[in-house]
Structures are given as C-alpha cells and as structure tokens.
Chains A and B, each alone.
Chain A
Amino acid sequence: MSQVLDIVTSKSMTYEQKLVSLAHAAEDTLNVLDMSERTKYFLEKGAINDLFEGHAPYRPRYVMPDYAKYVKNGSEFLGVEPPKDLDELLSNLQIIYHHVPSITSFPVYLGDLDQLIEPFITELSDEEVKHKLRLFLNFLDRTITDSFCHANLGPEETRAGRLILELEKELSNTVPNFTLKYDPELTSDSFAEQALYTSLFCANPAICNHRAHKDTYPGEYGISSCYNILPVGGGSYTLTRITLSELAPLADNVADFLEKLLPECLAAMGAYMNERVRFLVEESGFFESSFLSREGLIDPDRFVGMFGVTGMAECVNTLLKDEGKRYGHDPEADDLAEQIMKQISGFAAEFPAKYSKVAGGHFMLHAQVGLESDLGITSGVRIPVGDEPDSFYDHLRHSGRFHREITTGCGDIFSMETTARNNPAAMLDVVKGAFKEGVKYMSFYEKNSDLVRITGFLVKRSEMEKYRKGDTVLQNTTQLGAPNYDHNRLAERKVRMV
C-alpha cells in the first residue's frame, strides 16, 4: 500500500497523473492471468517484459477508431450528428477523442487529420482555417497530456495537410505526433519537402514508407502512439516484448541461445500474450460495453497482438563479446542479428495467436522502442546512440536490412545539421533512397531543437529541465523522456548531413 500512498502524496505529479497511476495500482492488485513457471522465470529475469500493461487487461493497448465512419455517421451513444461545417467537425472530433481508451488512458490515434478536414474547408480562406485549426491543435496538445498520440497525414497532398504543417512549425507542440505517409507515386515532392522542412523546426512530422506498409492488413492502416502500424477500425490488444539483451546473459554460448533459450522464451511469451488477449476478449467485457464496438467504429476482428523485440544490439554484442564483434559494425555481428531476427519472425509466422483474424491468426512483430527504466538496452533493432557508423549511408543500409522482418513498426531517428533546412530536397533524396533500401520509417529533428524525439515520442528539452528540478509538468511523457534521454545519452546522437 506504500506505493499507493506515494502516488497520493507525490509533489511532482499532477492530479490527472495521480488518478491514472492509482488506477494502475488497483489493477495490479489482481492476479487473474494464468502463467507457466517458465513465463514467470523469464518475466523475473526481464527477458520478457509486459511494459507495465497491467495485471488484468480491461481495454486494448491501442485503439484505432474508424474516424471517417464516425464523421460520416455521427454517434448515437455520444449524441453527435454528422458535421456540416469545420467547426462542427472539430468539435465532434474533440468529443470522440475524449472517449477513446488506450493503455495511456488517452487516445493514441487521431486519424488521417488532413483527409478528415479537407472536405470542410473549401469555402474558407487559409487564415480562417488556420485560426480554427490553431485552437483545435492547441486543445489537443493541452488536454491529451501524453505524447504517445499520433495523427496521420498524406499520402496525397491536400490544402489541409499544407496548412497543418504550417501550423505545426508555428506552434511546436508535443502532441500529437504527426506522420506523413509517403509514397513517391502519390505524394508530391513539394509536399514531402514541406514536411521534412517542418520537421527541422519542430521534429514533426515523421515519414512513413507507405508502399512498404499499405498491404500489411486487409483494409486501411494507421500510425498510432510512437509508433505502430495497425489496422484502422481495430488496433492492438497488447504489446509484450522480448528483451534480447536480458536474455543473452542467460545463455552459455551462441548455440545455447539460438537452440534453447530463444525458442523457450518465444514460446513462453506467445503463451503469455495469448493469455492476456483471452482475458481481454473473453472476460473483461470491453467489446460488449464499448460504444466504439457497438457502433462499428472498431471491430474485434481487426485487432492484433504485437510481439515486441528490443535490445538486439546489446544481445549480439554480449553473445560475441569474446570475439569483440559489434552490431552495426562487423558483418559477423549483423549476420547473427539477422539469424536471430529470422528465428523470431519464423516463430511469429507459426505460433497460433488467439483472436487475430486480421493478421491471419498470428502475432505481428514490432520493434519496441523502450522504457524510461531501460539502461543499456537499445530500442528495437537500432544501433546504440554514440556507436552509429560514421557513414550515414551505412547506417541507413543497416536500418533497411533490419526493418525488413518487422511489420508493425520499426524506425530510426536522426539528428540533423541545421543547414539541411536550406535544402529540403536533399533530405527528400535521402528518404527516397532509404525507402528504396527497405527503411520503413524515419524521423528527424534539428540538432539544437527544443523538441526532441526520445525513442519515438516527443519531449521538450525545456520541459525536461523543469522536471529535473522537481517541478510539475503537463506531459506524462516528460517524466518518461527525461530519464531516457539521460540513460541513453541521447545528447550524443550522431548529427547527420554535416
């Protein structure tokens, strides 16, 4: 109970942050998930990590409502009519966002904002639209106080998209994250260049390889949280991760790791995820009680379980410690990493996942980006910060190779030289090349930017300073970002295009 008292009496949490923490603490008093001894062992060792998702899942981790359908039909439960103009649209969106659950208790997905807005601005001038959108975007930033929240743009250029980018540059908000779905066939160079240019001022938007993702699921996909590729009208039940860097030290040698430990751990994690999904679908009553489900804005048949992978770099470096081979630098290390990756994807392709129709009855791989407590565990399959190859191209080719097997989210973050602002066409060339090489997702920020991307989410350096001094801060994610920024020495991220 002392944990509960700590929350209640905290001087650095806002009221809202306390409320959510208390709910988590209450949930964690339950013991309803059936777990094998082997699963418990791996959880204890940190090789499997449930990412504090809670001991009794009562809502999916990530919910991706079909907002286009909501705009078209309104909602009976919410008492909302279909909008007739921009004011009504933005008000309706604000209303529904409030009611979209997720692991953070805030909506992690806000829809294809440009496409939702575009039909409602034909009669309005740029200034009129920007005035209304400015209020809307600031409302989102100040009320969704958790930057694991994502809105999508593109792939087609729209007037709404351009105006949103202009506003993003002006406002420099942390919420939401924006991602441009980019496809050279569908997205104009000038729109993509405006997006990249904008990102060198406010670290938004990130760029997603649309071609590589569009056929991930039947129907539409969207980008949520920080960041996940998930079916629109569904989402993800759960995300559990295998922390390869914590599993490697348990192995006697490479063969022991590959032949014994890894298969055991994968099987234990698969069973654990199935148990979480089973409880959520069969016992929690979520899909029966949610208006999103009853009004067809989400469908249980469009949910997946995300099988997270992280700490590849340290795993390989540990296994090859005696040989002194390093991930991202030595071919032997990268080949071993690829072998591990293929084994994991082979497992996911075989292992039967419960209630996972949209993914053909299987779990989907995800490069998990980390927790604030992670010390010496590099996100997903990234190369550790400070150890990046000298050549930007070598780095991008490495990313392309390791993004390949991961279907529901895998990306890299690059700190850029300020002069890149003068030549966004150059950045677009890099993006085009990287996507050709198989890179799935990239985000950029300018090296001195106040807004920095931590592992995927955005935090302001100025807010982290406040938090370190013990002040309360509006965004939950500042509290996650500050230790992560320090632990992972993100200030040392190699600056590119110098």
Chain B
Amino acid sequence: MRKAPVNKIIPFSVVDGIGNRTSIFLQGCNIHCGYCHNPETQRMCTHCGKCVEDCPVQALYIEEGKVCWDAIKCVQCDHCIAVCPYFASPKIRFMDAAEVFEEVEKGIPFIRGITVSGGECMLYPEFLTELFKMAKEHGLTCFADSNGTVDFSEYPSLLECCDGVMLDVKSWQEDVYQALTGGLNQTVKKNLRLLAELGKLEELRIVCLPGQVDAKEAIEGIRETIPDQVGAVKLKLIMFRNFGVKGRFAELESPSREYMEELKQCALAAGFQKIIIT
C-alpha cells in the first residue's frame, strides 16, 4: 500500500461536507494561494531543524539528520508551525490507507462519511482510491476536497468510489488565478465540466477577496461552463479572513458584508439556488 503524508485527522467535522464526517488532511500542495489559511500544509519539511530548537516541550528532535516528532510529548501549541520558514509542519505521519482507516473506523457509527482534504489530496490518487474503497465497504460516503488542478479523468477507479468532490474554483481569469496561486487553471475548468457531467460535484467554493479574486467572473464562468447544473450545485462563498494566513495576504482585511451580499445576488441571477455565505 502506498503511504501518504498525513497532517492531521479530525475525528468529527461539521464543516467538511454534509453530515458528521472524519476529515483527513494530507500534507503538500501543488499551488500556493496567497490567502491559504493553513499554509503549514503546503510543503514538505526540509529538516532544517529550526522548530526543534524552539519547541517548548522538547517534542521535536533530530535523528539521522531528520526532524522527528513525539506525538505524546506534544502539547499542540503549534509553535513549530509558527516558526517554520518553509510553509511546512514537522508533525506529519506517513500512513497507508489501512492505517488511516483504522482511525476512521473509531468514528463509526457516529459519522456518515470521510472527507480528504489538504494540502492537495489529488497529489496522492492511489492512496485516495485505496482509502475510499475501504470506507465504501463500511457504508461511508467519500468526498475529496480538491483544488482541481490534477485531472480527475486520469483516475477512473478513483472517480468510481468517490461520491463527490468539493471543488475549490478560487478564481476564473488565468492571470488572476496565476497571481493568486502561482498555478494554472485550465484543468480546474476541465474538471468542473467532467465532475458536473458525472454528478459528482458536491460543492463549489470561492474565497472572496476583492482586488485579488475575480469572484463575479468566476460565478459567471461556472454558469457558462455548466449551465444545466448551477441550480443543483451548492455554492459556498467564503469571506476572506486573515486568521492563520502567512505572507503577503496576512495584513489584508475581510470584505464587507455588503460585498458578500452583492456576490450572492450575482449568484442568484446566474441561477444558483444553494448559496452559502460563510
């Protein structure tokens, strides 16, 4: 079985899809959004050792040149994350699907499913497929929370056992997307069409921040791409908050309530019916 770097497992989450779900956060992302609110999930540890010196309870140490983490000593103060200059975390466990599922299983019968998030979970498609298959056998629904930059059509067996994708569209125009994330969004648009056709679009997401994100264009672009599905798909308009944000966006302010309401009106006009502002 293939192992994946696991940042954390939240046994029950009310914010990662419908119902009570266990959320699994994988480490590593292929883009770097300015507004990322968990930037410590973006990159892998370089074993520089900076966090080791600073750990207040000596839960971190270096062994054979690598930073190691003692989960029992750790008091989860997240000081290591704050001092990490690389957008990484030393608290990563490499786990295969069976090991992750052992954790998930503790939540049965209180959960209806799992959601794998990140980082970017689609960087680990084989792991994801194996985990989803196990979860399905136990009657759980499986969601992937993805930025859509990896082409889903290349992984038919994953699509088969994935009940839905929560697709983070982010923005629409290529230059805006690139400035925001450092990546390109042709594949996101391709995935949007594919997932809509397959009936596997669980949720669409836009983090709203005027000046940085072309939210109105994104709403319109989605409508043009999947005109028949806009009424059925859930659209989450997330107000940017600088909580947890590192780097160039850390000092930016949240958009106003009025702006969020204006976007909601745009979405309604475009035919969306399930709009959530958070």
Chain B 84-114 per-residue mask, 1 if CB under 8 angstroms from chain A, else 0: 0000000000000000000000111111100
Interface segment out of the listed A34-42, A338-346, A424-432, A481-489: A424-432
Residue B125 CB within 8 A of the other chain: no
**Complex CA–CA separation, A417 to B109 (angstroms):** 21
Within 8 A of A (CB), among B3-46: 11-15, 18-21
Collect the chain A residues with CB atoms within 8 Å of residue B109's CB: 432-433, 436-437
Collect the chain B residues with CB atoms within 8 Å of residue A392's CB: 11-12, 110
- A246 smallest CB distance to B (angstroms): 35
The one of B11, B15, B18, B108 in contact with A419, judged by C-beta atoms closer than 8 angstroms, is: B15
Residue A125 CB within 8 A of the other chain: no
Tell me whether B18 and A430 are in contact (CB under 8 A): no
Given contacts A419-B14, A422-B15, contact A429 B111 (CB under 8 A): yes
Collect the chain A residues with CB atoms within 8 Å of residue B108's CB: 433
Residue A381 CB within 8 A of the other chain: no
Residue A497 CB within 8 A of the other chain: yes
Given contacts A393-B106, A393-B107, A422-B278, contact A429 B11 (CB under 8 A): no
The winner among B12, B13, B18, B107 for most chain A CB atoms within 10 A is B12
**Complex CA–CA separation, A426 to B21 (angstroms):** 8
- B42 smallest CB distance to A (angstroms): 25
Tell me whether A434 and B12 are in contact (CB under 8 A): no
Tell me whether B14 and A420 are in contact (CB under 8 A): yes
The winner among B14, B19, B21, B106 for most chain A CB atoms within 10 A is B14
**Complex CA–CA separation, A419 to B12 (angstroms):** 13
Closest to A416 in B: B14
Residue A29 CB within 8 A of the other chain: no
Collect the chain A residues with CB atoms within 8 Å of residue B276's CB: 422
- B166 smallest CB distance to A (angstroms): 14
Residue A117 CB within 8 A of the other chain: no
Tell me whether A393 and B14 are in contact (CB under 8 A): no
- A23 smallest CB distance to B (angstroms): 47
Tell me whether A429 and B110 are in contact (CB under 8 A): yes
Residue A391 CB within 8 A of the other chain: yes
Collect the chain A residues with CB atoms within 8 Å of residue B12's CB: 392-393, 426, 430, 497
Collect the chain A residues with CB atoms within 8 Å of residue B14's CB: 417, 419-420, 422-423, 426-427, 497
- A151 smallest CB distance to B (angstroms): 28
Which residues of B come within 8 Å of A, CB atoms?
A: 11-15, 18-21, 106-112, 276, 278
The one of B11, B13, B19 in contact with A425, judged by C-beta atoms closer than 8 angstroms, is: B19
Given contacts A391-B11, A393-B11, A430-B12, contact A423 B110 (CB under 8 A): no
**Complex CA–CA separation, A420 to B12 (angstroms):** 11
Collect the chain A residues with CB atoms within 8 Å of residue B20's CB: 423, 425-427, 429-430, 433, 497
Within 8 A of B (CB), among A384-436: 391-393, 396, 417, 419-420, 422-423, 425-430, 432-434, 436
Collect the chain B residues with CB atoms within 8 Å of residue A417's CB: 14
Closest to A419 in B: B14
**Complex CA–CA separation, A433 to B110 (angstroms):** 4
Collect the chain B residues with CB atoms within 8 Å of residue A422's CB: 14-15, 276, 278
A-B contact pairs, 17 of them (CB 8 A): A391-B106, A392-B110, A419-B15, A420-B14, A422-B278, A423-B14, A425-B18, A425-B112, A426-B13, A426-B18, A426-B21, A427-B14, A427-B20, A430-B110, A433-B110, A433-B111, A436-B109
Collect the chain B residues with CB atoms within 8 Å of residue A497's CB: 12, 14, 20
Chain A facing B: main interface SS = helix
The winner among A426, A434, A436, A437 for most chain B CB atoms within 10 A is A426
Collect the chain A residues with CB atoms within 8 Å of residue B106's CB: 391, 393
Collect the chain B residues with CB atoms within 8 Å of residue A428's CB: 19
Given contacts A391-B11, A420-B14, A497-B14, contact A426 B19 (CB under 8 A): yes
**Complex CA–CA separation, A427 to B19 (angstroms):** 7
Given contacts A393-B106, A429-B20, A430-B20, contact A423 B15 (CB under 8 A): yes
Within 8 A of B (CB), among A221-241: none
Given contacts A391-B106, A423-B15, A497-B12, 20 further A-B contacts (CB under 8 A): A392-B12, A393-B12, A393-B106, A393-B107, A393-B110, A419-B14, A422-B278, A423-B18, A425-B18, A425-B112, A426-B13, A426-B14, A426-B19, A426-B20, A428-B19, A429-B111, A430-B20, A432-B109, A433-B110, A497-B20
Closest 6 CB pairs of A and B: A433-B110, A429-B20, A426-B20, A433-B109, A423-B14, A426-B14
Collect the chain B residues with CB atoms within 8 Å of residue A429's CB: 19-20, 110-112
**Complex CA–CA separation, A430 to B107 (angstroms):** 10
Collect the chain B residues with CB atoms within 8 Å of residue A433's CB: 20, 108-111
**Complex CA–CA separation, A68 to B172 (angstroms):** 61
Collect the chain A residues with CB atoms within 8 Å of residue B111's CB: 429, 433
**Complex CA–CA separation, A392 to B106 (angstroms):** 11
The winner among B11, B21, B109, B111 for most chain A CB atoms within 10 A is B109
**Complex CA–CA separation, A327 to B11 (angstroms):** 23
Closest to A423 in B: B14
Closest to A420 in B: B14
**Complex CA–CA separation, A429 to B20 (angstroms):** 6
- B124 smallest CB distance to A (angstroms): 26
- A409 smallest CB distance to B (angstroms): 23
Tell me whether A396 and B15 are in contact (CB under 8 A): no
- A197 smallest CB distance to B (angstroms): 12
**Complex CA–CA separation, A433 to B14 (angstroms):** 15
**Complex CA–CA separation, A9 to B21 (angstroms):** 57
Within 8 A of B (CB), among A426-462: 426-430, 432-434, 436-437
Tell me whether B11 and A423 are in contact (CB under 8 A): no
Collect the chain B residues with CB atoms within 8 Å of residue A436's CB: 109
Collect the chain A residues with CB atoms within 8 Å of residue B112's CB: 425, 429
**Complex CA–CA separation, A396 to B20 (angstroms):** 15
Closest to B15 in A: A419
Collect the chain B residues with CB atoms within 8 Å of residue A391's CB: 11, 106
Closest to B276 in A: A422
Collect the chain A residues with CB atoms within 8 Å of residue B15's CB: 419, 422-423
**Complex CA–CA separation, A481 to B107 (angstroms):** 34
**Complex CA–CA separation, A429 to B15 (angstroms):** 14
